[in-house]
Chains A and B, each alone.
Chain A
Amino acid sequence: AQTVTQSQPEMSVQEAETVTLSCTYDTSENNYYLFWYKQPPSRQMILVIRQEAYKQQNATENRFSVNFQKAAKSFSLKISDSQLGDTAMYFCAFRIGNEKLTFGTGTRLTIIP
């Protein structure tokens, strides 16, 4: 069974600073997909960024980027120039093919003005 671990229950950072959220996963599969989702107080799960395991290049979406280390089974999210609107729960998630998403327990991120 696949597992996803987020070891930082809570983090806080000053506005405009950079923050990195950690995620590790465990799988015996070679091809899979990794995602970071953001869940603000409105509770809707919003996709932040995705990474295909077969791609060596780290994904980037504007201020959001990942550090994907396949051998270490690590998938961290870096948020640059953090903004107040980034305050939310962040979930790391794993998917094989077209199967279910497996989520971590989340990291509550607070951006301090």
Chain B
Amino acid sequence: DAGVTQSPTHLIKTRGQQVTLRCSPKSGHDTVSWYQQALGQGPQFIFQYYEEEERQRGNFPDRFSGHQFPNYSSELNVNALLLGDSALYLCASSLLISGNTIYFGEGSWLTVV
């Protein structure tokens, strides 16, 4: 049973560019969330997708956008990259059930130079 998978593992982008990160949820899960984890900090919630709709959003600018596909996989897009966007981006999946455990992928390391 595959867990949450993310790609790419590492990437380097230049300030002002755009990036797309991809995530496949754990088998059987229907809800995908994205978190940003800066070095030395706890993960911060970006947004959550269910049935291809954004259900909940954290305090992130519109430069951060996402998408969920019919097979429940998801993408995170960040436009006009800033140096401060350098972080580990974690994808998480679960069932949309109250209190259901959330499982995380290994993350995508983004470095903006």
Number of A-B residue pairs, CB cutoff 8 Å, is: 59
Neighbouring B residues of A91 by C-beta, 8 Å? 42-43
Contact with B along A87-102 (1 / 0, CB 8 A): 0000100010111111
A sample of 5 cross-chain residue pairs with beta-carbon separation below 8 angstroms, ordered by A number, consists of: A45-B90, A47-B101, A100-B58, A101-B43, A101-B45
Choice from A45, A46, A100, A106 contacting B56 with Cβ under 8 Å: A100
Neighbouring B residues of A33 by C-beta, 8 Å? 99
> Cα distance A57–B92 when bound, in Å?
28
Q: Are B98 and A103 in contact (CB under 8 A)?
A: no
Q: A43-B109, A101-B102, A103-B42 are in contact. List 14 more A-B contacts (CB 8 A).
A: A43-B107, A44-B106, A45-B90, A47-B101, A50-B101, A95-B99, A97-B99, A98-B96, A98-B99, A98-B100, A101-B43, A104-B42, A105-B41, A106-B42
CB distance from B72 to the nearest CB of A (A): 15
Chain B: residues with CB nearer than 8 A to chain A?
31, 33, 35, 41-45, 48, 56, 58, 88, 90, 92, 94, 96-107, 109
Q: Are B104 and A102 in contact (CB under 8 A)?
A: no
Neighbouring A residues of B35 by C-beta, 8 Å? 101
Does chain B have a CB within 8 A of A28?
no
Does chain B have a CB within 8 A of A15?
no
Closest partner residue, chain A, to B102 (CB atom): A101
CB distance from A92 to the nearest CB of B (A): 9
Neighbouring B residues of A46 by C-beta, 8 Å? 104
> Cα distance A43–B90 when bound, in Å?
9
Q: Are A52 and B42 in contact (CB under 8 A)?
A: no
Does chain B have a CB within 8 A of A30?
no
Closest partner residue, chain B, to A34 (CB atom): B99
Q: Are B100 and A44 in contact (CB under 8 A)?
A: no
Closest partner residue, chain B, to A53 (CB atom): B99
CB distance from A75 to the nearest CB of B (A): 14
